Amino acid sequence: MSLPELAAHVGTRLDLASPARSKGLSAAEVAERLRTYGPNVLSPPRRRPLYVQYLLKARTCSGAVHRRAAGWPHVWAHARRRPAPA
């Protein structure tokens, strides 16, 4: 799509010879688009629900606990082999 076709498609007044002098949308077109589409603002990002945050936290914490606990049988086996202090 060429620039003149694009300008006609979106309804803007584009001056191809001097883009700095372009007029853009008319006030009536701006008002119509504002009524149709609403203000041009970003919506805030969606937050994760609390239950999802909890489950993710529990998953990562339980993984750390399991990894740490995996080393304990070796520690207990080593402790059982030692003679009791006299």
pTM of the model: 0.40
Which candidate, 6, 26, 2, 22, places its Cα nearest to that of 14? 22
Which alpha helices (H) appear in 1-86, and where do they start and end? Answer: 3-10, 27-37, 50-70, 72-81
Q: How far apart are CA 46 and CA 57, in angstroms?
A: 18
For residues 23 and 13, is the Cβ–Cβ distance under 8 A? yes
Q: How far apart are CA 75 and CA 73, in angstroms?
A: 5
Residue-wise pLDDT for 24-76, tens only, equals: 888 888 899 999 999 989 888 888 888 888 888 877 665 555 555 565 555 55
